[in-house]
Structure 1
Amino acid sequence: MSSTTVELEFYMVDLNLISSYAYDLPEELIAQSPAEKRDQSRLLVFNRNTGERTHAHFFNLLEYLQPNDCLVVNRTKVVPARLRGVRDQTGGKWEGLFLGIDSEQTWEIIGKTRGKLQPGETITVVNDDGSNRIQLKLIARKDEGRWQVRPLQSEEDPRTHWEILDAIGSVPLPPYIQHGHAQAEDRERYQTVYANQPGAAAAPTAGLHFTPELLEQCRQKGVTIAEVTLHVGLGTFRPIGVEKLDEHTMHAEWCEVQEETVQQIQHCRENNGRVIAVGTTTVRTLETASQSGTLQPWQGESTLFIRPGFKFHAVDVLITNFHLPHSTLLVMLSAFAGYEEIMETYRIAVEERYRFFSYGDAMLIL
């Protein structure tokens, strides 16, 4: 096929249709386990200015960083959000996912079971080895299959919400990894080394490749490490349900940019450094806080949907994993680096046998 034909095919693509964001992926390229060591993952480097693509490893990242660059990471911490139990009234099996804590200090969850759940009903959740259990009372049904629930603690039970989850929950692996069944080692590997703010139902996976040693080497090179928080939520597990992107309602995720991070990025800009976002969650957070045109401290729920035509204000360089077809994340990459360029890069990644999705390899977009 000639290059002219390829260009014509791309020209005819409607970037407002989710069906355009598809590619062929052999099932064996979906990573089922992480690399033996975090920074041994492969790294596909794409330079938007030259069009050049280079094959490297994540430990080569320092070669592409410059003094005065600012590496921005998402410090959210994955909680053991996968819950399994039984309905006390019927004895039926129940599976759920913890989504967050609301202003009333009750939990928001989504679950599945046979039959129809009713407000007032209780579910006994038990951990994998049966050593811990707690009852959840269903308070109210919300939209999109979500429920407001309250963990029933005795007065003698001093545990926090996070301690309860740690006792009864398991790692919420995506369904394409080990069919969602976590192993003991996933508690450590499905978590970034800098995670310290509990609240995520999924990992910000681009950060999984960093080791403490690599971060220290970045600092020694003169690269600033800045932090934001975005608690990855329900939207990660839900595909786009409409064909036209302009009809898609983006899921809300809580995020925060603190004053210190704003100052670090301003200092980077003043010294001709680049803002390097580690992951699409970091992009979404920084661009949410920059909707006025200038990055400002920000806290709240973001519903920002980044798609082709979006004007980026905060991010210069992106480190990211390889994402699912028909996903908002693949749409975001197309907005950042160009649709044709991203689809060709993904084609090359498949051809070169890169490993895909959460436990897979990484891409650096310069």
Structure 2
Amino acid sequence: MKSAFSLVQMLRAPYTAGKFKRVNLMEWIAFTLLAALMQAVRTAGQKQLTNTMSAIVATWARYGFGFPVAVVYFVIIWRDQFDLLRHFSLTFYAIVLCAALFQLVATLLLVKVLSLRNFAVGTTFAKTEGIFAAIIGAVVFSAAFSLAAWLAIVIGVIGLVFVSLAKSNISVQSAWHSKTFILGITAGICFALTSLLLREASLVSDANPIMTAAYVLMISLGIQGLLCSGLVQWQSPNNWQQLRGQSKTILFVGLTGTLGSIGWYTAFSFQEAAIVKALGQVEYIVTLALTHYFFKETISKVEWIGIISVLVSVVLLLVGV
């Protein structure tokens, strides 16, 4: 209990540039690895849900049950420092709203992709978000990357895209005519925009980055939960019946999804979105492990190429940061 209390105190400590400059290197790496692990596990749970319910209902499970977890996390982190909320501007809230909308669209697309192809291929298509985050970040948000970081991002993404095309037997020429590929690429762009906007929200706030991330997460899940509930009801009132008998899986998806979001949102507070996403590609290795042990999918030779590209990417990334 004492160590847990000390951790909370550290997370809630007032922001000072010097302090966070010393500790944020390990913090963004730790939070990114947490996010990658939880996202892989959460996506596995969502794959199970898509077998028995529509994409929109499976998406609602992510936000509807994740929001209470985000509220609890926010209260623990902020506790008696709610007076800091007055430091957030209208610009901050506008950025958070846009990020929440892009993430909702991206999640809907990803869940749809999972219902069209096998688990590993579906998640890999959305991994193009790393290169999109780097390009958009450099052009629009003036993000600067070292040569090693650029190489890391490109090698990781190209390796995973190559694996996706090989596994789905889609040629480069016909790739853009593939519904799965197009949906996955679009999801990647939306996820990239989400990451960049979350990073921007942290930069326009003068509060502790970890506390800001907790606040942004709670707001985002609240917005996404409300919008997704409206979509579920609009599509069909009978959609809610699909949730019956899936309570354990839904709670699992909500919990792991929120834990993953805590990792992503906090990592973005300390590091450029493209860099975080490049390291987050280790999720691919976790995904393959899940497909092998839980979905009984054999890891092929071409998938080993993907694993090697991710490992090379991570090494280059850590050298270049």
TM-score when normalising by structure 2: 0.26
Q: Looking at CA atoms only, which structure, 1 or 2, has the larger radius of gyration?
A: 1
Highest RCO, 1 vs 2 (Cα 8 Å, sep ≥ 6): 2
Identify the structure with the greater strand proportion.
1
Identify the structure with the greater helix proportion.
2
